[in-house]
Amino acid sequence: MKLARVLARLALLSLAAAVFIVLTQGYAGSLRPPFMSPYRQAARRNRPAEPQGTRFPSFIGEVMALALIAAAGRIVFRLRLSPPVRGEEDVILLDLHREQ
């Protein structure tokens, strides 16, 4: 029973993924060449097959980029999406009354 439920959920997720794949294919079809500059093409063609330990700092750079985006997003979401604290709202209201 539980397995059937998991399989049904997986099927739903796969269906949603299939919809996004169709949309991606549509987007790919709308692209016109050149898709990438020759310099970038050369860089991508020469990517190493084996891991390179010397490139560890670039991995740390990506982790830091992710952390920075998360921190920036945290500030924005906190400022824009969090409801005001009830106590603060009351204080503002009281101030307004006093001014009137």
Nearest residue (CB) to other proteins, 80 versus 97: 80
**Euclidean distance between CA atoms 45 and 56, whole angstroms:** 21
For residue 49, the minimal CB distance to other proteins (Å) is: 5
The residue among 16 and 94 lying less far from other proteins, judged by its C-beta, is 16
Q: How far is the CB of 28 from other proteins (least distance, A)?
A: 6
When the beta carbons of 84 and 97 are compared against other proteins, the nearer one is: 84
State how far the Cα of 19 lies from the Cα of 51, in Å rounded to an integer. 34
Spell out the residues 6+ positions from residue 44 whose beta carbon is closer than 8 angstroms to its own: 36
